[in-house]
Chains A and B, each alone.
Chain A
Amino acid sequence: MSKSVHSLDDGFLALPLSALADAALARARALGAEHADFRLERVRSAALRLKDAKLAGSTDTTDLGYAVRVVHGGAWGFAAGVDLTMDAAARVAARAVAMAKLSARVIAAAGADERVELAPEPVHAEKTWISAYEVNPFDVPDADKTGLLTEWSERLLAAPGISHVDASLLAVQENKFYADTAGTSTTQQRVRMHPELTAVTVTDSGDFDSMRTLAPPAGRGWEYATGTGWDWDEELARIPGWLAEKLAAPSVEAGSYDLVVDPSNLWLTIHESVGHATELDRALGYEAAYAGTSFATFDQLGTLRYGSGLMNVTGDRTAEHGLASIGYDDEGVQAQSWDLVREGVLVGYQTDRRIAKLTGFDRSNGCAYADSPAHVPVQRMANVSLQPAPEGPTTEELIGEVERGIYVVGDRSWSIDMQRYNFQFTAQRFFRIENGRLAGQLKDVAYQATTTDFWGSMSAIGGPETYVLGGTFSCGKAQPGQSASVSHGCPSALFRNVNILNTTQEAGR
C-alpha cells in the first residue's frame, strides 16, 4: 500500500510503547473490562507564517500522551494521561474504568439498557505502516522553509498591483502506537504538508480583494514544496493577473446559471454535502446536538436518490497521499475502500466498530480517528471521492457544453445546514461562460443549493485527466472538538440551473 522508503522514527520507537500498553491493558482486564485499548501518540506540528515576506510567527509543537478506552459493564470509559511510567498507565486505565462506572450509574438512573458492543475485527499483531513521502519536512532546516516562503512572497509582491502577501506553511508528523486486549498492535507514521500564499490588492479607492493558491494540503513531504505534485511557479506567476482581472470584473447578475465546477472547488462541496452526510454516527443522531444529523437517514440505504446516475462516490482510507489514508484506524481496523453512492443511489456509510455493530454490519470500514492522545476516537471522514467518467470530457469540453454559465475555481467560504440540505459556497475565481467559452471573471458570486437538487442536476462529469485530490487540514467534529485532515478527489463536473446570489445585494448594498 505504501511506497515510502522511510523507516519508523527511532525516537518514537524508543518510547516504552509495549510496556505502557501491557500495564494499562492488564489493569483494565483485572478491573473487569470487556474490552480495552491503549493508544500512544506523538504528533509534531510546525507552522510558519510570513506577512509581506517577513517572518510573522513560527511554532514547533509536539503533543505526546496516551489514552485508555474501555468497555466495562456495557458502558464506555475513557481517560488520558502524559506520565510515561507503567504505574501511571495503570492509573489511567483505572480512571477509564471509573468513568465507565460513572456512565453506568447515569444510564441506570435514566432507566436505559443499551450496551456498548463492538463489531469484530481480525487480529493484526505487530503491524507497521508508513505513509508515502520523500523528504520528511522536519529534516529540512527552518531557514530553508522560511527562505522558500520569503522568495515566493517576494515574487508576488514584485508584481504590479499586489499590496500584501500572506504566506504560511503547516507540516505534521504523526506517530501512533495502538494495542488492544484482542491482541492487535500497530505502529504507524504519517506526514502531511500545506504551503499556502494569499495575495491582496488594495486600490486607491479603498476596494480590496485577495487571491489564494489552490495547492491543496497533501499527504506528502517537503518535495511537495519543491515541485512534486504541484506547479508553484506557474500558479504564482498567474495570481497577480487573475487578481487584477477579478477586481475589475463586473458584479454578477443574480439568477440561475449552469456551473462547471473545478475540482479545486468541488472537493469542498463533496466534503460538506456527501462526506459528512454519509457518516453513520451522524445519520443515527450521535452528533445531533453539535455537528448535526443527516438527511441521508439509515432507513434509506439502498434507495435514496442522492444525485444523477453519473454520480459514483467512494469512501477510502487507502489513497496514496490522501490525508485520511492510514494502515489501521484508531480501533485497530485495517484501512479499506468502499462505495458510498453508486449510480446516484446511496449504498454505503462510514462507520466505526460500535456503530457497525449497532446497525448490523459484519465489520467496521475503519473510520475511527482521534486527533490527539487526549481525545476519544470517533467516526471521522475517510477520503470521500467522486469518481471521474472513464472516457469523460476535459474541463474545456465541459465548458464547451454551456451556453450561459459560470466556471467555478478554488474554494473560499462554505456553509451547510445541520442536516446537510442547504449549502452556500463562494470561490477564488468565477469565470463567465458565454457560448461555450470563458468570457472574463465575475465578482460578488455565491452559489446556493439543496444537496440532492444539486447532485441531481449533474449532467456531465469530467474524465480521469481532470481528477485532482483536494482536501483540508482541519475538519471539525465531536465534543470535545476534534480536528481531522481529509482528502477528496474529484473531476470537473457540469451542473445545470444552479441558483447564483449576488453577495453585495445580500449585504443590502
Chain B
Amino acid sequence: MTRTTRTTEPHETVERALELSRADGCVVIADEESSANLRWAGNALTTNGETRGRTLTVIATVGGREGTASGVVSRAAVTADDLEPLVRAAEAAARESGPAQDARPLVEGVPHSADFAEPPAETSSDVFAAFAPALGESFARARAGGRQLYGFANHTLTSTYLGTSTGLRLRHDQPTGTLELNAKSPDRTKSAWAGRSTRDFTDVDPAELDAELAQRLAWAERTVELPAGRYETLLPPSAVADLLVYMFWSASGRDAHEGRTVFSKPGGGTRVGEKLAGLPLTLRSDPAEPGLESAPFVVAHASTDDWSVFDNGLPVGPTDWVREGTLQHLLTSRFTGDLTGLPVTPEADNLVLDGGGTKSLDEMVAGLGHDGPGLLLTCLWYIREVDPATLLLTGLTRDGVYLVEKGEVTGAVNNFRFNESPVDLLGRAAEAGATERTLPREWGDWFTRAAMPPVRVPDFNMSSVSQGV
C-alpha cells in the first residue's frame, strides 16, 4: 500500500460538494478504488490488470408536506467541473421522488475520523512482488509433478470518505485480497481447490497451497462411485461459510416481519428468540474482528431492504445474530427497526461462526466414517434458493469429495447435487471444530471476510449424482 498525492483530494471533493448543496440534507460518499489482479490457467498466466477508479455519490434529502424524499446520484471519474451538476442532479432526483419510506434525520454526533484529510491508500501490482515469482515457481513445480494449476489472485483497496451536512466526516480503508488455487490432473478428471482471504498477500504462499492440493490429488488416485443419498458429511470451513453467508443475506428483519422468510413466525412476528441449533453455535459479525476488519459505520450507496441511505455514518458494532444456538437478531436499518419493533442492527462486512470446538479438520476426519461411508467435502458451487419458506438451497459439490472410512481418507467419490437448508443444518449439526479464517468460494466475489469451523452433519442430502468435475 502506498500513499499518493493528487490535485483534488477526496476529502476536498466531499467538502466542496457539501458546500454546493442547497437541499435540506446532504450525504457525500467518495470512493477511491485501486486493484491489481493475476489470473492463470494450465500453469500459465492468462489475463491480468491494474485499475484505478473514483466514484462520487451524492444523496440529497428534501423535506415536503408528505415526508422527506431522497435523491441518489453516483458518478465515476468526477472532476471539479462535474461537481455542481452532480449535486444538482441529486437534488432534482429528490424533488422528483415521492417521500422516501425510510426517511429519518441524518446521523449526527459521530466523532470525526482522524485520517479524513489524508490521501487515499492505493494498491498496485507491487502487492504481488513476492507472490508473483513464487507463483511462477509453483507452475514449474506443478508441471514437473503432473499437475495443472488454475486460479486467481486479486487485491483491491477502497478508501471511502463519507461527509454529511450534519457534520459527519468519516473515512474507512478496506483492503480485500483473495487467492484461489485449483489443481487438476492433465486429463482434468481429478480436481482440488484451496482458497485464502488476505489483507495484503504477505501471509499467502502458493507453494504451501500447491502442496496441499498435491496431497488431495493423491487422495483421488482411488476413485469410488457413490449413489445419491443422505451421508454423514464433514463440511470444511469454506462450505460452511457459503451456506451461512446465504442465510445471513436472507435474514432481513422486514421480510421476516412480513411473513415471507424462513425467519417468519407463522401467524405473525419473527423467530427471534427461537432455538435454531442444538450445539452452542454463535454466528456473529464485528467490524473490529482481527484479520477481518470492516467498516465500523454504515456506508449505504442505495436504500435496500436492510440498508437506508439516511443511516449513512451510523456506527456498526459487534452483533450476535445467533447466540449459543438461539436466533438473536435480524438485519435492520433504523426504518425497518421501527417498522418491526426489532433493535437496529446494521450488518458488518464479516461473519464468524464459533462453536467452542477445538478440533482441526484433520482431527474431525479421524472421527468420521465409523458407521458407514463418510464424506469430506472441499467446497460448494452454484448455490441457489429453491424454497424461501425453508430456505432450501440447491448446489453442487466441487473440486474434491473424499470418501472417509473409519477415520481415514480412502479415495475420492463423484460430485453430487445437494438440496439442503442452512437453517436446518444448524439444527442437525452434530459437531463443530475450531474456527479458522476461510474464503467462501461461491460468494467470494461479494463476501470474503469469514471465519468458520468445520461442521459434521450426520445426514447431508445428496440429491443426485453430478458427472461434472
Does B258 sit within 8 A of A, measured CB to CB?
A: yes
Contacting chain A: which of B146-154, B158-166, B370-378?
B146-154
Does B184 sit within 8 A of A, measured CB to CB?
A: yes
CA distance A109 to B43 in the complex (A): 11
The answer to whether A55 and B98 have CB atoms under 8 Å apart is yes
CA distance A508 to B303 in the complex (A): 36
Interface residues of A in 170-224 (CB under 8 A from B): 200, 202, 204-210
The answer to whether A413 and B385 have CB atoms under 8 Å apart is yes
Does B424 sit within 8 A of A, measured CB to CB?
A: yes
The answer to whether B394 and A424 have CB atoms under 8 Å apart is yes
Does B104 sit within 8 A of A, measured CB to CB?
A: no
Interface residues of A in 38-66 (CB under 8 A from B): 47, 49, 51, 54-65
Q: Mark A419-433, 1 if CB is under 8 A from B, else 0.
A: 111101010000000
Chain A, Cβ-Cβ closest to B151? A289
Does A102 sit within 8 A of B, measured CB to CB?
A: yes
Contacting chain A: which of B51-59, B350-358, B402-410?
B51-59
A78 contacts which of B49, B74, B100 (Cβ < 8 Å)? B49
Q: Mark B258-279, 1 if CB is under 8 A from A, else 0.
A: 1110001111000000000000
Does A108 sit within 8 A of B, measured CB to CB?
A: yes
Q: For A395, list chain B residues within 8 Å (CB).
A: none
Candidate in B42, B46, B70 with the most chain A CB atoms within 10 angstroms? B46
B75 contacts which of A49, A62, A83, A111 (Cβ < 8 Å)? A62
The answer to whether A422 and B468 have CB atoms under 8 Å apart is yes
Contacting chain B: which of A343-351, A454-462, A475-483?
A475-483
The answer to whether A109 and B51 have CB atoms under 8 Å apart is no
Contacting chain A: which of B128-136, B284-292, B317-325, B340-348?
B128-136
Q: Do A507 and B392 contact each other (CB < 8 Å), given the known contacts A295-B467, A418-B381? A: yes
Q: Do A415 and B396 contact each other (CB < 8 Å), given the known contacts A60-B74, A62-B76, A479-B39? A: yes
Interface residues on B, range: 35 or more
Does B223 sit within 8 A of A, measured CB to CB?
A: no
The answer to whether B266 and A205 have CB atoms under 8 Å apart is yes
Interface residues on A, range: 35 or more
Q: What number of residue pairs across chains A and B have CB atoms under 8 A from each other?
A: 303
Helix, strand, loop or mixed for chain A's interface? mixed
Q: For B42, list chain A residues within 8 Å (CB).
A: 285
Q: For A81, list chain B residues within 8 Å (CB).
A: 51-52
Q: Do A481 and B51 contact each other (CB < 8 Å), given the known contacts A76-B46, A501-B463? A: no
Does A135 sit within 8 A of B, measured CB to CB?
A: no
B45 contacts which of A62, A107, A208, A375 (Cβ < 8 Å)? A107
B396 contacts which of A206, A288, A417 (Cβ < 8 Å)? A417
CA distance A110 to B132 in the complex (A): 11
The answer to whether B77 and A64 have CB atoms under 8 Å apart is yes
Least Cβ–Cβ distance between B98 and chain A, in angstroms: 5
Chain A, Cβ-Cβ closest to B90? A60
Does A164 sit within 8 A of B, measured CB to CB?
A: yes
Interface residues of A in 129-183 (CB under 8 A from B): 141-143, 146, 150, 163-164
Helix, strand, loop or mixed for chain B's interface? strand
Q: For B384, list chain A residues within 8 Å (CB).
A: 413-415
Does B433 sit within 8 A of A, measured CB to CB?
A: no
Q: For B73, list chain A residues within 8 Å (CB).
A: 59-61
Does A324 sit within 8 A of B, measured CB to CB?
A: no
Q: For A60, list chain B residues within 8 Å (CB).
A: 72-74, 89, 93
B463 contacts which of A75, A141, A506 (Cβ < 8 Å)? A506
Q: Do A285 and B41 contact each other (CB < 8 Å), given the known contacts A56-B101, A99-B125? A: yes
CA distance A71 to B41 in the complex (A): 18
The answer to whether A289 and B465 have CB atoms under 8 Å apart is no
Does A105 sit within 8 A of B, measured CB to CB?
A: yes
Does B188 sit within 8 A of A, measured CB to CB?
A: yes
Does A112 sit within 8 A of B, measured CB to CB?
A: yes
Q: Do A56 and B303 contact each other (CB < 8 Å), given the known contacts A206-B265, A285-B150, A376-B49? A: yes
B461 contacts which of A76, A102, A444, A506 (Cβ < 8 Å)? A506
Does A286 sit within 8 A of B, measured CB to CB?
A: yes
The answer to whether B258 and A80 have CB atoms under 8 Å apart is no
Interface residues of A in 109-131 (CB under 8 A from B): 109-112, 114
Q: Do A289 and B97 contact each other (CB < 8 Å), given the known contacts A102-B125, A107-B45, A112-B139? A: no
Q: For B53, list chain A residues within 8 Å (CB).
A: 65, 80, 82, 374
Least Cβ–Cβ distance between A371 and chain B, in angstroms: 13
Does A394 sit within 8 A of B, measured CB to CB?
A: no
Does B453 sit within 8 A of A, measured CB to CB?
A: no
Does B247 sit within 8 A of A, measured CB to CB?
A: no
B96 contacts which of A80, A142, A476, A499 (Cβ < 8 Å)? A142
Does B110 sit within 8 A of A, measured CB to CB?
A: no
Contacting chain A: which of B15-23, B167-175, B197-205, B415-423?
B415-423
The answer to whether B89 and A415 have CB atoms under 8 Å apart is no
Does A18 sit within 8 A of B, measured CB to CB?
A: no
Q: For B426, list chain A residues within 8 Å (CB).
A: none
Does A293 sit within 8 A of B, measured CB to CB?
A: yes
The answer to whether A378 and B136 have CB atoms under 8 Å apart is no
The 8 closest A-B pairs by CB, nearest first: A206-B266, A109-B136, A417-B468, A110-B139, A57-B303, A419-B468, A289-B150, A202-B259
If A480-B154, A503-B392 are given as contacts, then 19 extra A-B residue pairs at C-beta distance below 8 Å, sorted by A number, are A57-B102, A58-B97, A60-B93, A61-B74, A65-B53, A79-B50, A81-B52, A82-B76, A102-B132, A105-B132, A107-B136, A143-B98, A206-B266, A206-B267, A289-B151, A293-B188, A448-B417, A448-B463, A506-B419
Task: Give A contacts to B, CB under 8 Å.
Answer: 47, 49, 51, 54-65, 67, 75-84, 95-96, 98-99, 102-103, 105-112, 114, 141-143, 146, 150, 163-164, 200, 202, 204-210, 285-290, 292-293, 295, 374-376, 378, 413-422, 424, 426, 444, 446, 448, 450, 476, 479-481, 499, 501, 503-504, 506-509
